[in-house]
Amino acid sequence: MEMKFEITLPENKKVDAHYRGFTISTDQPATLGGDNTAPSPFELFLASIGTCAGFFVAAFCQSRSIATDNITLTQTVVRNDKTHMAEKILIDVHLPPDFPEKYKDAVIKTAESCIVKKHLVQPPEIKIAVQ
């Protein structure tokens, strides 16, 4: 299966991705010459990890008729000061007090099955060419 994203460069440091009728806008912070109108591509990448884990937690709970309105996830990214690369990503799943004890370990395992995380463990080949 092939997925195609159309990437456009609207102005200044803004870059947009168009896919399935959606426009995903990115920008850079003002400190990097951008207009700070949207998250940076790297911020979106990081957010995709947490939102993917959140999706799997939500699907797990919904399949067991467990309410998700009091469940949140907090993602902390530890970056190397010199390389600016993420060295560690911590995701904490906050469950309400009445969450069934028997499912707590399963929620962790479910969040770890996030496909974005799996792509970091086994990254795809990326090729760039001029057309």
Q: How confident is the model over 51-76, as pLDDT tens digits?
A: 999 999 999 999 999 999 999 999 99
C-alpha 51/C-alpha 19 separation (Å) is: 18
Could you list the beta-strand ranges (E) of 5-102: 6-8, 15-19, 22-26, 72-79, 86-94
For 115-131, how does the pLDDT look when each residue is reduced to its tens digit (9 = 90+)? 999 999 999 999 999 99
Q: Are 6 and 17 in contact (CB under 8 A)?
A: yes
C-alpha 109/C-alpha 114 separation (Å) is: 9
Residue 27: burial class (beta carbons within 10 Å; 0-12, 13-18, 19+): buried
- The count of other CB atoms within 10 Å of the CB of residue 74 is 10
For 18-46, how does the pLDDT look when each residue is reduced to its tens digit (9 = 90+)? 999 999 999 999 999 999 999 999 999 99
Q: Are 67 and 61 in contact (CB under 8 A)?
A: yes
CATH code of the domain occupying 39-121: 3.30.300.20
Q: What angle do CA 18, 21, 26 make, to 5 degrees?
A: 35
Percent of the chain with pLDDT over 70: 100
Q: Whole-prediction pTM value?
A: 0.91
Q: Is 103 helix (H, G, I), strand (E, B) or coil?
A: helix
Q: What angle do CA 66, 69, 72 make, to 5 degrees?
A: 100
